[in-house]
Chain A
């Protein structure tokens, strides 16, 4: 249901634009996130954008270099990645980000990731 593209081999300092298309019917109802995984390593949250696109959050490691955006008319999420470093080499997954509501109806401050795409590989060469 989520399909990423745009990854590839890029030189250090270069840029890429990653895309994630949601083929479902509820794209505009959800916040969306990017999570990455370096080869053989664990998961690292990168960024999240609200359902409307009006609010964005970033990990410190990418702040100022990466920009998340979305086009709700195209059911598409983007990640513009600039000033790439070797440590940015990873599979980049897009994911639907949901709030959790506890038994009192109180909304969590942040998100868990309900559905993931298959990922797109970004390789930064030095």
Chain B
């Protein structure tokens, strides 16, 4: 099983600042089979990024993903008030599919 470790656990920032979230995998994830999701309190997760760097439909371009192998990151260039949420990474290169423990981005 591939273990995904997200850091930091909590990121305290202000609107307008840049956020960089990390996701490290215990084994190399082939062909960038990594996705990122956003979850707000009481809501379902929403897909942000797939293929490590491709934005999902309707996702603003302030969200970007990068990385390969075992090190991936999600960057939010300028935080908007609606971006304060929990973010999860997920690998789909091997079974079982696994998620990271999440990073909470708070004000």
Contacts and interface: CB of A to CB of B under 8 A. Distances in A.
B33 to A, nearest CB: 5
B101 to A, nearest CB: 5
B98 A45 contact: yes
A39 B84 CA distance: 20
A60 B98 CA distance: 12
A7 interface: no
A2 to B, nearest CB: 9
A60 B96 contact: yes
B51 A42 contact: no
B93 A110 contact: yes
A35 B88 CA distance: 13
Contact of B96 (A59, A93, A117): A59
Interface residues of B, dominant DSSP? loop
Interface stretch (B10-18, B19-27, B39-47): B39-47
Contacts, number: 73
Nearest to B101: A42
A4 to B, nearest CB: 10
A116 B94 contact: no
Interface string B69-100: 00000000000000000001010111111111
A103 to B, nearest CB: 9
Given A100-B51, A112-B92, A113-B35, A93 B98 contact: no
Interface of B: 31-33, 35, 37, 43-47, 50-51, 56, 88, 90, 92-102
